[in-house]
């Protein structure tokens, strides 16, 4: 009997254990006490002076749905980078840059001179101011108490005015260089010094019969003049250009080579150095950034007593002085600083 009772208890034990495990937990609250429903806890709002502060999300609840968390607000800087089709890549502008158009031409009123000191105003002040502003030629409006330096390189075109035209044709060419320094203001001009150096040559072709009676031989008669001089100079600003006047004294190295026959045995060659004077006039026109052109003329007077026969093959030929006065015309490049 006891054996049957033990077997019945063993068969009933698993069923009782399953009922214990599946039974719901007992309510720990007392009967009749109201229990508030669980839900998301309210969070404190951020202070008004901290715009970027956000409330912390509430902890997840086991019995209710997850609370909704609002997205963080978009700052103005991030909103400016957003394009209609998406975000703007870093390093690129949100809107295309429109290139600026050409600057308007300055009006006449911008060149008006403030009459601070009449002695510092050049002749033709409005034209000088226009060139200084538009072409960066500020030397045109520089006060007269400040120095102005200039260097010029020119082509030289000469014309013989005295005895040299008796031995060679009167038109020649060469080159010249000038250095001018003006540092003393005189009324509305500047006084200074100038240095000139140049070379000119006058040539003529002559034909001689050969010794054996064959073809003619062409040879060249050549008169040259190389000069160095220095002296006083004046510079007058006149609107968009400079008027330059000057005189100088120095030395001239002159040569005359004159062939007399085809074989070259009796050729005439003379070299001499003489005192000379030069006077000149020129216009300097600054074009851009103080660079410009110069156009002028000058007269050279060479003091030489050397005489030669006009026709050396004739014993009764009159004589002339080949080294005398000649005129030059200059055209070249000049810079001011």
**HEC profile for the chain?**
CHHHHHHHHHHHHHHHHHHHHHCCCCCCCCCCCCCCCCCCCCCCCCCCCCCCCCCCCCCCCCCCCCCCCCCCCCCHHHHHCEECCEECCCCCCCCCCCCCCCCCCCCHHHHCCCCCCHHHCCECHHHHHHHHHHCCCHHHHCCCCCCEEEEEEEEEEEEECCHHHHCCCCEEEEEEEEEEEEEEEECCEEEEEEEEEEEEEEEEEEEEECCCCCCEEEEEEEEEEEEEEEEEEEEEEECCEEEEEEEEEEEEEEEEEECCCCCCCCCEEEEEEEEEEEEEEEEEEEEECCEEEEEEEEEEEEECCCCEECCCCCCCCCEECCCCEEEEEEEEEEEEC
Taking Cα atoms as reference points, which of 254, 278, 259 lies closest to residue 201? Answer: 254
Judged against a pLDDT cut of 80, whether residue 171 lies above it is answered with yes
Mean pLDDT is highest, among 137-141, 162-166, 275-279, for 275-279
Query: How many degrees, rounded to 5, is the angle at CA 225 between CA 219 and CA 226?
Result: 130
Return the structure tokens found at 147: 């120095």
Q: According to the model, what pLDDT value does residue 208 have?
A: 85
Q: How far apart are CA 120 and CA 48, in angstroms?
A: 66
User: 168: pLDDT confidence band, cut at 50, 70 and 90?
Assistant: very high
Return the structure tokens found at 68: 């909704």
Return the structure tokens found at 1: 């009997």
**Mean pLDDT score, 100-106:** 55
Q: According to the model, what pLDDT value does residue 25 have?
A: 47
What are the tens digits of pLDDT across the range 215-267? 888 999 999 999 999 999 999 999 999 999 999 999 999 999 999 888 877 88
Q: Among all chains, which residue has been given the structure tokens 């150095």?
A: 273
Give Cα 275 distance to the centre of its chain.
44
Query: How many degrees, rounded to 5, is the angle at CA 64 between CA 60 and CA 65?
Result: 75
Lowest-confidence range among 38-52, 182-196, 277-291, 298-312? 38-52
Judged against a pLDDT cut of 70, whether residue 128 lies above it is answered with yes
* Mean pLDDT, the chain, integer: 79
What are the tens digits of pLDDT across the range 256-277? 999 988 887 788 999 999 999 9
Judged against a pLDDT cut of 60, whether residue 111 lies above it is answered with no
Q: According to the model, what pLDDT value does residue 75 have?
A: 64
User: 160: pLDDT confidence band, cut at 50, 70 and 90?
Assistant: very high
Residues 6+ positions from 47 with CB-CB distance below 8 Å: 53
**In terms of pLDDT, which residue wins out, 62 or 307?**
307
> What percentage of the chain has pLDDT greater than the value 70?
64
What are the tens digits of pLDDT across the range 8-65? 666 655 544 444 444 444 444 444 444 444 555 655 555 555 554 555 555 555 555 5
**In terms of pLDDT, which residue wins out, 2 or 164?**
164
Q: According to the model, what pLDDT value does residue 33 have?
A: 46
Q: How far apart are CA 296 and CA 331, in angstroms?
A: 7
């Amino acid at each position: 009997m006891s054996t049957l009772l033990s077997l019945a208890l063993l068969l009933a034990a698993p069923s009782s254990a399953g009922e214990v495990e599946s039974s719901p937990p007992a309510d720990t609250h007392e009967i009749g006490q109201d229990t508030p429903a669980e839900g998301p806890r309210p969070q404190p709002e951020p202070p008004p002076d901290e715009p970027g502060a956000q409330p912390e999300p509430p902890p997840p609840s086991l019995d209710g749905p997850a609370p909704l968390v609002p997205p963080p607000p978009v700052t103005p800087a991030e909103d400016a980078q957003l394009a209609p089709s998406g975000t703007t890549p870093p390093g690129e502008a949100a809107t295309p840059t429109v290139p600026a158009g050409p600057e308007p031409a300055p009006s006449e009123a911008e060149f008006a001179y403030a009459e601070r000191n009449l002695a510092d105003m050049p002749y033709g002040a409005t034209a000088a101011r226009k060139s200084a502003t538009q072409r960066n030629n500020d030397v045109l409006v520089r006060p007269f108490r400040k120095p102005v330096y200039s260097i010029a390189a020119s082509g030289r075109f000469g014309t013989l005015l005295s005895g040299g035209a008796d031995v060679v044709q009167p038109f020649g060419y060469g080159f010249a260089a000038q250095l001018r320094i003006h540092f003393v203001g005189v009324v509305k001009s500047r006084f200074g010094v100038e240095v000139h150096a140049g070379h000119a040559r006058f040539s003529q072709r002559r034909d001689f019969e050969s010794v054996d009676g064959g073809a003619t031989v062409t040879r060249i008669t050549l008169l040259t003049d190389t000069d160095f001089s220095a002296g006083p100079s004046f510079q007058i600003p006149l609107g968009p250009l400079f008027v330059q006047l000057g005189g100088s004294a120095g030395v001239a190295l002159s040569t005359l080579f004159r062939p007399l026959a085809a074989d070259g045995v009796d050729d005439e060659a003379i070299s001499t150095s003489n005192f000379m004077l030069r006077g000149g006039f020129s216009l300097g026109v600054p074009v851009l950034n103080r660079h410009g052109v110069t156009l002028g003329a000058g007269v050279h007077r060479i003091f030489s007593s050397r005489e030669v026969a006009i026709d050396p093959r004739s014993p009764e030929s009159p004589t002339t002085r080949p080294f005398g006065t000649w005129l030059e015309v200059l055209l070249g490049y000049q810079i001011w600083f």
